[in-house]
Amino acid sequence: MSFPPAKLKLGKGIWALVGSAFFFSIMSLLVKLAGKRLPSQHIVAVRVLITFLLSLGMLLKARIPIWGTHRKLLFLRGFFGFLGLNCFYYSLTHLPLAEATVIQYINPVLTALLAVFFLGERFGTGLVASIGLSLVGVALMTRPGFLFGGYSASLPPSAVGLALIGAACSACAYVTVRKLSRLEHELVIVFYFPLISLPASLPTTLAHEFWPNGKEWLLLIAIGISTQIAQILLTRGMKHIEAGKAVAIMYLQIVFAGLWGLTVLQEPLSVFTIAGSLLILVGTILASQSKGENSFSH
């Protein structure tokens, strides 16, 4: 049975993003487990070290010039990625897994808006509907007090605030990835994230006289590997799909996180969390079926 070429191209980008969401959710689960004892700065430092070594090895093996040609944009990709990662890991270690992931995924609206101004992309009706449903799902899961009163979720304000800052930085990183995906090889784009993050993370890490044990080292290595896979799939997917739509599809990570929280961490899922996850899933399906996927070659 054959399918139209457009459908095949659409599936290629979408399945890469679904795979990226899955591996990012695995990374989040591992961070939550490692963060039971380790400071989030240690997790960031080891994670970016592993990503640096893997990325450098893949670039050298493929004989691809490691520095790229659009270095200012590549630096911004690494800088925003570093800030977003620090804030996200802090929230993961101080908030329930599903809620931390949900707050992080407020960034699609910011991504889509930034893409309008900096990439010349436009809103389609399917994308607007998918983001709208997803945002309602986010509200149900986080349940801010001014909307839900006595049904609000009790979350530490400092962790929520840093999670919101992380979401904004992630939006900036996504837009630069989308722009760079037309200009640079995906491995170079991935490489610049640890290239900037590794030296930036060392001062806060070395300030703590605290080292992981054997089990924690295994968790940290697994965090680095799962993240590397997720980053490559994300960059590949965003090569084919517009920035706002791509990040809307990545909402699937919230559904995965809810499952890991329930099955692995024994974090209870409320009716609000389940309803929010279902809305997010519907939004993801709408994003995957709407038109507007583009393909760019390097």
Question: pLDDT grade, residue 76 (50/70/90)?
Answer: very high
pLDDT at 105 (0 to 100): 74
Q: What are the pLDDT digits (tens) for 181-230?
A: 888 888 899 899 999 999 998 887 777 767 778 888 899 889 988 988 98
**Distance between CA 235 and CA 239 in Å, rounded?**
6
**Could you tell me the pTM of the whole model?**
0.76
User: Residue 187 contacts by C-beta under 8 Å, 6 or more apart in sequence?
Assistant: 55, 58, 59, 62, 64, 232
* 154 phi and psi angles, rounded to 5 deg: -90, 95
Q: Which amino acid is at 46?
A: V
Return the domain boundaries, the chain.
Answer: 13-289
Q: Which amino acid is at 120?
A: G
43, 87, 194, 262 from 217: Cα distances, Å: 10, 22, 18, 25
User: Which tokens sit at 204?
Assistant: 């806060």
pLDDT at 178 (0 to 100): 83
**Tokens 């840093």 — which residue?**
162
Q: Which amino acid is at 66?
A: I
Q: Which amino acid is at 3?
A: F
**Distance between CA 258 and CA 77 in Å, rounded?**
28
Averaged pLDDT of the chain = 80
Q: What are the pLDDT digits (tens) for 231-270?
A: 788 878 877 777 667 766 777 887 888 889 888 988 877 7
For residues 271-285, average pLDDT: 77
- CB-count exposure of residue 271 (10 Å: 0-12, 13-18, 19+): exposed
Q: Do 259 and 102 touch, CB atoms closer than 8 A?
A: no
- CB-count exposure of residue 117 (10 Å: 0-12, 13-18, 19+): exposed
Q: 60-63 long-range CB contacts below 8 Å, 24 or more apart?
A: 62/187
